[in-house]
């Protein structure tokens, strides 16, 4: 199947995915900060706990996580779609496989929310391990993505 995309649009297809993903990497670091604050709130006592509760870190963490889930899935599809449109194939390599793995990880991590809300520690620890791994892979993806962008730019 051949999709004819106007030549003027093709460069934007290559740039939208990396821009979105770099933004999501930053948002992921912010989500980590909020998650740490949620954990501090959970274990704090007295006046410190009252002060931390005012920050509503749990609600903000949940909302940012939901946005990350949706945009990461869409961003993954956009990246794969742009690659396919421009090359009529996907390149099976570490960047694609790690990206698909990350998309699965964030979905599983988000699916643990009902169990964490019930106070189940196994769900919290699994959530933390998945998201820590996800953030490390995300940082690596940024580096490999820059290499891919430079490769694309060298062919222009």
**Distance (Å, rounded) from C-alpha 153 to C-alpha 2?**
23
User: Is residue 72 domain-resident?
Assistant: yes
Residues 6+ apart with CB under 8 A from 150: none
pLDDT digits (tens, 9 = 90+) for 86-143: 888 998 999 999 999 999 999 999 999 999 999 999 999 999 999 999 999 999 999 9
User: Is residue 138 domain-resident?
Assistant: yes
Q: How many domains does the chain have?
A: 1
User: Is residue 4 domain-resident?
Assistant: no
Structure tokens at 112: 């643990």
User: Is residue 90 domain-resident?
Assistant: yes
Residue span of the structural domain in which 86 resides: 10-154
User: Is residue 114 domain-resident?
Assistant: yes
User: Is residue 1 domain-resident?
Assistant: no
Is 33 a residue whose pLDDT tops 90? yes
- CATH number, domain of 37, equals 1.20.120.1770
The predicted model scores a pTM of 0.87
């Amino acid at each position: 199947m051949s999709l004819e995309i106007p030549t003027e649009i093709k460069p934007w297809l290559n740039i939208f995915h990396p821009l979105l993903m770099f933004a999501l990497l930053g948002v992921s670091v912010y989500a980590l900060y909020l998650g740490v604050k949620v954990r501090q709130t959970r274990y704090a006592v007295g006046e410190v706990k009252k002060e931390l509760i005012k920050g509503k870190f749990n609600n903000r963490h949940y909302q940012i996580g939901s946005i990350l889930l949706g945009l990461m899935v869409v961003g993954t599809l956009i990246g794969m779609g742009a690659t396919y449109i421009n090359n009529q194939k996907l390149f099976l390599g570490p960047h694609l496989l790690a990206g698909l793995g990350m998309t699965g990880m964030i979905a599983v991590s988000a699916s643990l929310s009902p169990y964490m809300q019930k106070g189940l520690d196994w769900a919290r620890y699994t959530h933390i391990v998945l998201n820590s791994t996800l953030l490390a892979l995300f940082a690596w993806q940024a580096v490999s993505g820059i290499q891919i962008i430079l490769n694309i730019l060298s062919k222009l």
